Amino acid sequence: MRVLITGAAGFLGSHLADRFVQEGHTVVGMDNLITGNMDNIAHLMGHKRFSFIKQDVSNYIYVPGALDAVLHFASPASPNDYLEHPIPTLKVGSLGTHNTLGLAKDKGARYLLASTSEVYGDPQVNPQPETYWGHVNPIGPRGVYDEAKRFSEALVLAYQRSHQMETRIVRIFNTYGPRMRLNDGRVVPNFIHQALLGQPLTVYGDGSQTRSFQYYTDLVEGIYRLLLSAENLPVNIGNPNEMSILEFAQAVVEIAGSKSDIVFVKPQDERIADDPKVRRPDITKARTLLGWEPRVSLRDGLAETIEFFRSRIH
Ligand code: UDP
């Protein structure tokens, strides 16, 4: 296959590019580098089956040659980033999804959208199955991301129904691993960074809010299987191992062998407005349709991620 990956210089986009190149496919990576980083794909530059185009997919995009698949992973994805770039976040989820769908239609390519557990908002159902419609505040600080992704799902389904396109939607739950930005503001880089520097880990609120963390290799496997499957409707890919943020902080301190304290803070800005109180994927659909389930334990995944951040800090 020859595949276009938007957001290819990001955390997930770059790992996906690696996987497709390893499988023998040809990858065209695209990124405008507002949150992506060329370091993530430096090792691919010069590879005969990889090329890179620096472009903003919210503007008209042109890609010469045939394409068999388009994977749309471009978007700011950390709450800090989408608070800092609210309009680009809305544009890449709406105009960027429209442009990449148009490109896929033109090329007769299969289309895969990176959606998110944020479409469920602050859920009133736990765990969240794909049939849950969500509980989202459209005008809160997270609305720019959540609504952009909800709109993009609607657009993908409209293209699939109107143009009989082959489309896939992956709803990605919290994912971590090497190549996350040390300063992206999310809980995994924040806590690891703090633990490695011996600074206190900053738990927002009382730390009772929950998340379920998956290692990036599990996610990449799920996405690869989903692309090759026949499922047009959204599929959750996440690790159902739910824990409170306080428990997560304790795990990071222990696995990093850190002496850091854990403190409870209330950030001054809007960062924790509408912070979902629980989040856990129901992965029955992925298990049944894709034969997929997560393989990597939190301990192993965190150990590798801590090593990555340790090398960056030094
Ligand atoms: N969080 C925290 N301390 C931090 C950063 C985040 O306690 O330094 C909390 C945040 O309030 C949320 C959870 O960790 O409840 C996950 O936040 P993240 O930004 O990683 O992503 P989200 O899952 O909210 O999109």
H or E stretch covering 95: helix 86-107
Q: How far is the CA of 204 from the centre of ligand 1 (A)?
A: 7
What integer best gives the mean pLDDT of the chain?
Answer: 97
Q: From residue 84, how far is each of 59, 76, 80, 159, 236 by CA, in Å? A: 20, 9, 6, 30, 27
Quote the percentage of the chain above a pLDDT of 70. Answer: 99
Beta strands in 246-293, from DSSP E residues, in sequence order: 262-265
Question: Sign (positive/negative) of CA torsion 60, 62, 68, 70?
Answer: negative
Beta bridge partners of 213: none
Which of 136, 137, 187 maximizes ligand 1 atoms within 8 Å of its Cβ, making it the mutation to test the pocket?
187
Q: Do domains 2-175+214-237 and 181-211+241-280+296-313 have the same CATH topology?
A: no
Nearest CA to ligand 1 atom 23: 174
- Summarised one tens digit per residue, pLDDT across range 63-98 is 999 999 999 999 999 999 999 999 999 999 999 999
Contact 54, 32 (CB under 8 A): yes
Q: How many CB atoms lie within 10 A of CB 261?
A: 12
Q: Which atom of ligand 1 is nearest to the CA of 191?
A: 8
Number of helices (H) and strands (E), helices first, in the chain?
9, 13
Q: Name the least confident of 66-75, 122-131, 245-254, 271-280.
A: 271-280
Q: Which atom of ligand 1 is nearest to the CA of 188?
A: 20
Q: How many CB atoms lie within 10 A of CB 284?
A: 13
Q: How far is the CA of 51 from the centre of ligand 1 (A)?
A: 34
Q: How far is the CA of 159 from the centre of ligand 1 (A)?
A: 34
Q: Give the model's pLDDT for residue 267.
A: 77
Residue 67 tokens, joined: 């394409």
Helices 187-197 and 245-256 sit at what angle, rounded to 10 degrees?
40
Range 181-211+241-280+296-313 has CATH code 3.90.25.10: yes
Residue extents of the structural domains in the chain: 2-175+214-237, 181-211+241-280+296-313
Angle at 59 between CA 170 and CA 116, to 5 degrees: 20
Active site residues per annotation: 145
DSSP code string of 195-225: HHHTPPEEEETTS--EEE-EEHHHHHHHHHH
Give residues (CB < 6 A) around ligand 1. 78-79, 174, 186-187, 190, 202-204, 209, 211, 245, 272, 275
Contact 243, 191 (CB under 8 A): no
H or E stretch covering 112: strand 110-116
Contact 28, 51 (CB under 8 A): yes
Residue 208 identity: S
Q: Name the least confident of 27-36, 149-158, 266-275.
A: 266-275
Q: Give the model's pLDDT for residue 270.
A: 67
pLDDT category, 314, cuts 50, 70, 90?
confident
Distance of CA 90 to the CA centre of its chain: 16
H or E stretch covering 153: helix 143-163
Q: How far is the CA of 283 from the centre of ligand 1 (A)?
A: 22
Q: Give the model's pLDDT for residue 271.
A: 66
Range 2-175+214-237 has CATH code 3.30.2290.10: no
- Summarised one tens digit per residue, pLDDT across range 199-229 is 999 999 999 999 999 999 999 999 999 999 9
